Amino acid sequence: MTASGRPAPRIVSLLASGTEIVEALGLGAQLVGISHECDHPPHLLDRPRVSRPRFDPSGLSSGEIDAAVRQAMFDHGSVYEMDGRVLEALDPDLIITQAVCEVCAVPTGGVREMLGARGIEAEIVSLDAHTIEEILASLDQVARAAGRPDMSHHPAESLRARLDAVREAVRGAARPRVLGIEWLDPPFAPGHWVPEMIDLAGGRNLIGEAGRPSREVPWEEIEGLDPDALLIMPCGYGLADARADADARAEALLRVAPGAIAGGRAWVVDASSYFNRSGPRFVTGVEILGGLLHPDRLPAPDEDRAAVWTPSAG
């Protein structure tokens, strides 16, 4: 039961960060369905999957994925499709989705159309964070929609305390010039909350604007920047895939960041888990960055979260 005495709502999350927020709020028992991309926390992954991509990205290069995404948008207006029969059978009271990026997860508009077509009566909670503060506010948004506004205080305050600890640790340190690349073929400059993460971790972001969408940039625009540090963070990629993608674009990266690469200050990161998602684990991403940029002030990240990248000998 909720604080008001109403039955606890049945929740479907069509957003990986939404599933992580549900868990952070202690609402996992109410989660009855998840999206195809949800992969954390492990104990919630047995829920029925309500969405799927319109193409299989496995084995595709970043350039091939980009082409497939553009084709899906042209043909269908969306990259994902929902299983209306599964959604109807789950009988949700609350559906978590987003309107930040049409190619990152099932968009809010598509959910509204599905509910109307199927006659499903459920409240839609659209998590549309573009900044760090808006990510933190998302916890309160979900808690209130679930009838438990009392739940959001502790996890949000705990996340803020960890951010404050990083901010204090890097205070007064020299701020290296940081180039983040969020996709490699074609290259994209990071946007939304990622430039803020770099700044908070004690770096100076070179391209991409906080609170604005990630944007495509030609290689020619970033060649010659020669940043102090290079962050290779392809959207949706884990560490191994990020490394493989960097290896495939080694020649271009060497033109962009020769000093950082030669000095061992070029890193691949697990972007999918800690940077791309507007969920609680972005705070771990800030801690990772702090440890990379200022190893004299913060602990080095685990090797499964970030690693130095150098072009392979072959």
- Is 128 inside a domain boundary? yes
- Is 214 inside a domain boundary? yes
Out of 151, 186, 206, pick the residue that ends a domain: 151
- Is 167 inside a domain boundary? no
- Is 261 inside a domain boundary? yes
d(Cα 13, Cα 96) in Å, to the nearest integer? 5
Predicted local distance difference test score (pLDDT) of residue 260: 98
Predicted local distance difference test score (pLDDT) of residue 6: 62
Do 136 and 217 belong to one domain? no
Do 134 and 38 belong to one domain? yes
Give the DSSP H or E segment for 178: strand 177-181
Do 217 and 105 belong to one domain? no
| Domain span including residue 29 | 11-151
Of 297, 300, 303, 304, the C-alpha closest to 202 is: 297
Do 62 and 111 belong to one domain? yes
Predicted local distance difference test score (pLDDT) of residue 105: 62
- Is 157 inside a domain boundary? no
Q: Are 33 and 47 in contact (CB under 8 A)?
A: yes
Query: Would you say the pTM of this structure is higher than 0.85?
Result: yes
Do 145 and 16 belong to one domain? yes
94-97 and 204-205 beta bridge pairing: unpaired
Out of 118, 151, 184, pick the residue that ends a domain: 151
Do 186 and 265 belong to one domain? yes
Instruction: Dump pLDDT digits (tens) for 266-298.
Output: 999 999 999 999 999 999 999 999 999 999 999
Predicted local distance difference test score (pLDDT) of residue 118: 78
Predicted local distance difference test score (pLDDT) of residue 73: 66
Do 184 and 146 belong to one domain? no
Do 142 and 203 belong to one domain? no
- CATH number of the domain enclosing 276: 3.40.50.1980
Do 120 and 36 belong to one domain? yes
- Is 6 inside a domain boundary? no
Q: Are 183 and 235 in contact (CB under 8 A)?
A: yes
Do 186 and 286 belong to one domain? yes
Do 103 and 194 belong to one domain? no
User: In the chain, how many domains are there?
Assistant: 2
Q: Are 130 and 212 in contact (CB under 8 A)?
A: yes
- Residue segments in the chain with a per-residue pLDDT below the cut of 70: 1-6, 72-77, 100-105, 107-108, 152, 313-314
- Is 156 inside a domain boundary? no
- Is 269 inside a domain boundary? yes
Predicted local distance difference test score (pLDDT) of residue 270: 98
Do 179 and 130 belong to one domain? no
